[in-house]
Amino acid sequence: MAQKKMILDLDTGIDDALAIAYAVADTNVELIGIISSYGNTYVETSAQNSLNLLHLLGVDDVPVFIGEQHSSTTDHFDVMPISQLIHGKNGIGEVELSQSPRLVEKQSGIDFLIEAAHKYTDDLIFIPTGPLTNLAAAIEKDPTVATLIGHTTLMGGALTVPGNVTPFTEANIHQDPEAADIVFQKQTNLTMVGLDVTLRTLLTKQETAQWRALGTTAGEKFAELMDFYIDAYFNLNIDKKGAALHDPLAVAVGIDASYVTTIPLTMHVTYDQETGDYGRTIGDKEKLLQPTTSQAAVLVDTDRFVSDFQQLMLNVLA
């Protein structure tokens, strides 16, 4: 077993599915659990998608936990229509998967994260690729979580490029800016893998054709869901060259930080509805002279990452 342990926190849509495959395939880490979140779909659907994808990959030993069902400042959550266009109504491109024999764990995702932080400390890598509601809730319940986790690499935010919800705001941060601000203010050893770098990592149908050519059920299903994603990017005019590998890049950077170039920056998230920059991830000018505990990725070794990603996918789908 690898010394480094990984927990994924996913709102399991299509790129989250790729993140699962990457974490399973990379032998440098042991995936010890997945916490379900909301965003691309509802939290219950996200959890079942994760279980079914793990089953497809032959790893039914990884537990899946339920996280928070909505943001810290609302009493419900509705999937945005654009999310359904990008990820499908079922979150995974309308692809039908065999039902996992494993059920969702009874322990809450928040308690699982707190327990793992105390157990593994520096050896724990935490990868949230949806809203930061679960991590903020864990910090609020047990403030030591903020310093116990070895490293947190989140997919979210935008520093040097426009957001994909508003000119300032990226989708994951937009779901719960207040929780995101708690995380940016309190979580140490934090790296933001935002649109600045993820939009530079594109996959095309040339790669998914290689998955299909493996002749396996996993290869076929992952090709189907990724092709749905690529088509959505094209049809919605997000990017006609391919679809971005948002969430798997966060997993990769959590394991090997050399994929990206970062700048040390203590950040915060704006959440005043009146200012026009709701959900903006930006440097905290009040802390410019204080020690920095977080990093923001601004450049990525695109060719190396996409090549490594494709090789891992070919291995895990074979």
Nearest CA to 246 among 280, 199, 313? 199
Instruction: Please tell me which residue in 11, 176, 181, 227 is annotated as part of the active site.
Output: 11
Nearest CA to 51 among 85, 111, 98? 98
Q: Is 11 a catalytic residue?
A: yes
Query: Tokens for 100?
Result: 């996992």
Residue 229 CA to residue 232 CA, distance in Å, equals: 5
Query: Tokens for 72?
Result: 């810290």
Instruction: Give the contacts of 306 (CB within 8 A, at least 6 positions apart).
Output: 201, 202, 203, 245
Count CB atoms within 10 A of the CB of residue 107.
13
Cβ 145 vs Cβ 113: under 8 Å: yes
SS3 316: helix
Instruction: Please tell me which residue in 87, 174, 246, 268 is annotated as part of the active site.
Output: 246
SS3 303: helix
**Residue 274: CA count within 13 A, CB half-sphere:** 0
Nearest CA to 288 among 258, 309, 267? 267
Q: Phi and psi for 283 in degrees, rounded to 5?
A: -60, 145
Residue 282, beta-bridge partner list: 268
Instruction: Give the contacts of 74 (CB within 8 A, at least 6 positions apart).
Output: none
Q: Is 246 a catalytic residue?
A: yes
SS3 159: coil
Name the residues annotated as catalytic. Answer: 11, 246
